[in-house]
């Protein structure tokens, strides 16, 4: 079974689909089920570094799980509350109110005041009304009317202080909620999110030299950073080096929703710790809250509708899970409410990251895994299909031993 996975990823490297990738999976008892890396860390001419489990990569939205753990640690400390208004901790959040239309004759967005306070729970579950601009035509028109590019600006407020696309608590949209949640941690602790995670997450797990928001400033990391590669305009191989591409957009703030860089080994160490409910990170009650489904019927339906609302959203948010499988959201990520035959058991939690990365925790089967690479376009279907087969192989291996 593992030989099949070896062959699939070796073929992807040989075909030019993938420059490099690292995979790690293990079980609830701490046993490693699979650990292997393929290809190169860069397609830049003259750079022959291999992609290994120690290669530092942008994990993009896989940062979100780390930020959620940081938030829950602050809740345990009594300095944050999941259900209180975060406006005092996050200056600028929701300042535009709700965007409800656009007047093309005036080249101006139409707004209405937001009547509902935004809470941390809403930010962590994507029910706050925030949505990434690439997902929303109204937000793109609003940016253009201001002569701004999407996701423009160096600070969190410049990038994430967007009009809300629905009243908080009454829908689902994938967006900057975790960036704002990270800002709440910073406001409550008077520490940068990088410093807080180093103190409370990375150092306790022994991964402090392998995770950072600022890897280029770390002597222990700067020479291990992988470069991003890209497929052609149609999303087809062979991949080539993507010079000048910066997933962070040159931002100076810590973006809790997308800003962490990590090695595969470090992220797996973190993910495995979360799956095993390691007391180094959280109390048992916090793990219960982390993995408890959070959406009411209205928001859950909005999530399922959103994933299938366009091909690009299905690609970015669907993680190769059939539309027929009902989904919900917990504080950690996307939850499959039903099993997918041969891939995962009911209640599996999983999520991904922009440059075709993915993680999963299959609670019932007692396994977790991570796949990290540095390729755009984001969540490219052929690459994500490979990661699905990796997950299937790990599931099959564990189930065969039951």
Beta bridge partners of 296: none
Element (H, E) at 239: none
Identify whether 209 is part of a domain.
Answer: yes
Query: Do 46 and 156 have their domain in common?
Result: no
Query: Do 239 and 306 have their domain in common?
Result: yes
Identify whether 70 is part of a domain.
Answer: no
Cis peptide before 238 (omega within 30 of 0): yes
Query: Do 185 and 200 have their domain in common?
Result: no
Q: CA dihedral in degrees (12, 260, 329, 96; nearest 10)?
A: -120
Q: Residues for the chain: how many in total?
A: 402
Identify whether 208 is part of a domain.
Answer: yes
Residue 400 and residue 16 in contact, taking contact as beta carbons nearer than 8 Å: no
Angle at 399 between CA 379 and CA 344, to 5 degrees: 30
Query: Do 309 and 230 have their domain in common?
Result: yes
Structure tokens given for 52: 């290994």
Identify whether 67 is part of a domain.
Answer: no
Cβ neighbors of 288 (< 8 A, separation 6 or more) are: none
Quote the CA–CA distance of 149 and 153 in Å, as a whole number: 9
Query: Do 164 and 151 have their domain in common?
Result: yes
Residue where a domain stops, chosen among 136, 155, 189: 189
Residue 41 and residue 20 in contact, taking contact as beta carbons nearer than 8 Å: yes
CATH of the domain at 362: 3.40.710.10
Query: Do 45 and 130 have their domain in common?
Result: no
Instruction: Give me the number of domains the chain comprises.
Output: 2
Query: Do 310 and 376 have their domain in common?
Result: yes
Residue where a domain stops, chosen among 159, 189, 219: 189
Query: Do 180 and 214 have their domain in common?
Result: no
pLDDT 10s digit of each residue in the chain, 402 long? 688 999 999 999 999 999 999 999 999 999 999 999 999 999 999 999 999 999 999 999 999 999 999 999 999 999 999 999 999 999 899 999 999 999 999 999 999 999 999 999 999 999 999 999 988 999 999 999 999 988 888 899 999 999 999 999 999 999 999 999 999 999 999 999 999 999 999 999 999 999 999 999 999 999 999 999 999 989 999 999 999 888 777 788 999 999 999 999 999 999 999 999 999 999 999 999 999 999 999 999 999 999 999 999 999 999 999 999 999 999 999 999 999 999 999 999 999 999 999 999 999 999 999 999 999 999 999 999 999 999 999 999 998 876
Identify whether 130 is part of a domain.
Answer: yes
* pTM for this predicted structure: 0.97
Quote the CA–CA distance of 374 and 357 in Å, as a whole number: 8
Residue where a domain stops, chosen among 189, 212, 231: 189
Query: Do 249 and 305 have their domain in common?
Result: yes
Query: Do 105 and 172 have their domain in common?
Result: yes
Give 357-388 as a DSSP string. Answer: EEEEEETTTTEEEEEEE-EESTT-HHHHHHHH
Phi, psi of 351 (to 5 degrees): -160, 175
Identify whether 137 is part of a domain.
Answer: yes
SS3 state of residue 101: strand
Identify whether 212 is part of a domain.
Answer: yes
**Nearest alpha-carbon partner for 273 in 201, 186, 346:** 201
Structure tokens given for 350: 């999983």
Crossing angle for the helix pair 177-189 and 63-77, to the nearest 10 degrees: 40
Quote the CA–CA distance of 239 and 373 in Å, as a whole number: 12
Query: Do 122 and 205 have their domain in common?
Result: no
**Nearest alpha-carbon partner for 363 in 395, 328, 321, 341:** 395
Query: Do 240 and 361 have their domain in common?
Result: yes
Cis peptide before 377 (omega within 30 of 0): yes
Identify whether 358 is part of a domain.
Answer: yes
Q: How far is CA 26 from the centre of its chain?
A: 20
> Which DSSP symbol is given to 277?
T
Quote the CA–CA distance of 1 and 342 in Å, as a whole number: 13
Its domain, for residue 266, covers 2-62+193-400
């Amino acid at each position: 079974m593992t030989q099949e996975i070896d062959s699939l990823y070796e073929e992807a490297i040989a075909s030019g689909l993938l420059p490099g990738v690292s995979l790690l999976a293990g079980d609830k008892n701490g046993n490693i089920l699979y650990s292997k890396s393929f290809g190169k860390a860069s397609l830049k001419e003259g750079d022959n570094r291999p992609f290994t489990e120690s290669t530092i990569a942008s994990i993009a939205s896989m940062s979100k799980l780390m930020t959620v753990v940081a938030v829950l640690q602050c809740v345990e400390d009594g300095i944050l509350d999941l259900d209180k208004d975060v406006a005092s901790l996050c200056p600028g959040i929701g300042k535009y109110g709700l965007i409800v239309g656009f007047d093309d004759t005036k080249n101006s967005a139409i707004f209405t005041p937001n009547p509902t306070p935004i809470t941390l729970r809403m930010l962590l579950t994507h029910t706050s009304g925030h949505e990434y601009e690439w997902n929303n035509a109204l937000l793109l028109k609003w940016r253009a009317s201001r002569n701004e590019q999407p996701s423009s600006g160096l600070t969190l407020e410049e990038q994430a202080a967007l009009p809300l696309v629905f009243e908080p608590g009454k829908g689902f949209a994938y967006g900057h909620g975790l960036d704002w949640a990270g800002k709440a941690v910073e406001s409550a602790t008077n520490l940068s999110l990088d410093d807080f995670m180093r103190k409370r997450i990375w150092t306790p797990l022994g991964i402090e030299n392998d995770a950072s928001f600022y890897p280029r400033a770390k002597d222990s990391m700067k020479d291990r950073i992988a470069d991003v590669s890209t497929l052609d305009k149609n999303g087809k191989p062979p991949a080539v080096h993507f010079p000048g591409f910066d997933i962070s957009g040159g931002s100076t703030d810590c973006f809790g929703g997308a800003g962490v860089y990590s090695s595969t080994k470090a992220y797996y160490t973190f993910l495995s710790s979360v799956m095993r409910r390691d007391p180094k990170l959280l109390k048992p009650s916090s793990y219960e809250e982390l993995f408890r489904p959070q959406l009411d019927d209205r928001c859950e339906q909005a999530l399922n509708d959103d994933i299938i609302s366009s091909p690009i959203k299905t690609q970015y948010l669907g993680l190769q899970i059939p539309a027929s499988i009902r989904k919900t959201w917990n504080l950690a990520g996307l939850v499959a409410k039903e099993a997918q035959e041969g891939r995962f058991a009911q209640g599996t939690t999983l999520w991904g990251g922009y440059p075709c990365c993915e993680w999963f925790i299959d609670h019932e089967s007692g396994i977790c895994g991570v796949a990290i690479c540095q390729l755009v376009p984001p969540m490219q279907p052929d690459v994500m299909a490979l990661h699905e087969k990796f997950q299937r192989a790990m599931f099959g291996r564990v189930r065969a031993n039951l």
